[in-house]
Amino acid sequence: MKKTWKALVLSACCVMGAGAMNAQASDADAQIKALCAKVVADAASSSALQHLSLDDAWQILQDEGYRVTEKKSDHFTIKVNGRNIMMYYFSGGDFQLYYGVSGVKITEKQINDWNRTKRLSRAYIDKVGDPALESDLDGGAGLAKAQVVNFTKVFVDTSVPAFRKFLLEKGDVE
């Protein structure tokens, strides 16, 4: 609804054109012009590509209501439903989400089945034999804030629950 309203106001601004606003414009016209300027600025700031830092991602996710904790120099933790999901930052502006599970044994064949049939994440068996799930966000050309939010939302709300279900169905819980 908010985006639709902004689009409507933006369209009205375009129809009115800058030339329609002159020194004799009414208060209503001046208010519309100011609102149009704000809508355009808001749209530009929310969709503009920029190189984001780990601190930027922390703030973006905190503003979205995620519980972010344990910030280190290269990552922080997102706590969701008692689970820890790590967000890592790499030089060049890339981000990675990581979710690991202990106490579940799964075969390489089963992990390969996951990777063959699922999109937007990859699973593997880590150095100590535990299953892990990761997803990468390429930030080399810059990122919009909405991309960080969507990337996190897909991983947290879709990939991790599907992976947990997969592990419960296919793995051996110790």
pLDDT tens-digit map of 126-160: 999 999 999 999 999 999 999 999 999 999 999 99
* C-alpha–C-alpha distance, residues 6 and 152, integer Å: 25
Reference 109, options 124, 127, 130; nearest CA is 124
pLDDT reported for residue 15: 40
pLDDT reported for residue 4: 41
Reference 61, options 149, 151, 157, 142; nearest CA is 149
pLDDT digits (tens, 9 = 90+) for 69-111: 989 999 999 999 999 999 999 988 999 999 999 999 999 999 9
Specify the pTM: 0.73
The correct CATH number of 54-173 out of 3.40.50.10860, 3.30.1460.10, 3.40.1830.10, 3.40.50.970 is: 3.30.1460.10
Q: For the chain, give every residue range classified as CATH 3.30.1460.10.
A: 54-173
